[in-house]
Amino acid sequence: MAALCENMLIVSMLLSVLFIPGNLTDCPNKVLIANLPGEIEALSGSCLQIPCKFKSTHHTYDITKAKNGVWLQNKTTFKTNPEAVIFNSSGSVNRNSLKMIGNLREEDCTTVFPDLKTSHTDSYFLRIQSWPFRATDVCHPLHITVKDSPWSPSINVPSDLKEHQSVTVTCSAFTPCPHSPPELTWTLQQDSLRQTEKNTDGTFTTKIQENITLSDTHDGYNISCSARYPVIGGNKTAETEVTLSVSYAPRNTSASISPSGLVSAGSWVELSCSSRAKPPPRFTWFRNNKDGATNVSVEQVYRFNGTQRGKFYCVATNHLGNQTSSFILVNIISEKRG
Residue 151 — left, alpha, or beta (φ > 0 → left; ψ -120 to 50 → alpha)?
A: beta
Under 8 Å between Cβ of 121 and 145: yes
Mean per-residue pLDDT pooled into runs of 10, the chain (338 residues): 36 29 53 94 97 95 95 90 94 94 97 95 97 94 97 96 96 96 90 89 95 96 97 96 98 93 82 97 93 92 85 96 95 66
The pLDDT, as a whole number, for residue 192 is: 77
Under 8 Å between Cβ of 207 and 169: no
The pLDDT, as a whole number, for residue 11 is: 31
**Residue 122 CB burial class (10 angstroms; 0-12, 13-18, ≥19):** middle
Q: How far apart are CA 128 and CA 146, in angstroms?
A: 25
- DSSP lists the bridge partners of residue 87 as 71, 94
Q: How far apart are CA 76 and CA 69, in angstroms?
A: 14
Q: How far apart are CA 15 and CA 8, in angstroms?
A: 11
The pLDDT, as a whole number, for residue 29 is: 62
- The alpha carbon of residue 41 and the mean position of all alpha carbons in its chain are separated, in whole angstroms, by 16
Could you give the 3-state DSSP secondary structure of residue 241?
A: strand
The pLDDT, as a whole number, for residue 260 is: 80
The pLDDT, as a whole number, for residue 28 is: 61
* End-to-end CA separation in angstroms for the chain: 125
Could you give the 3-state DSSP secondary structure of residue 25?
A: helix
Quickly count: other Cβ atoms within 10 Å of residue 108's Cβ: 17
Under 8 Å between Cβ of 335 and 264: yes
- DSSP lists the bridge partners of residue 272 as 256, 301
DSSP code of 108? B
On the CB side of 15, CA atoms within 13 Å amount to 7
- Residues 178/179/182/185 CA torsion (nearest 10 deg): 100
Amino acid code (one letter) for 74: N
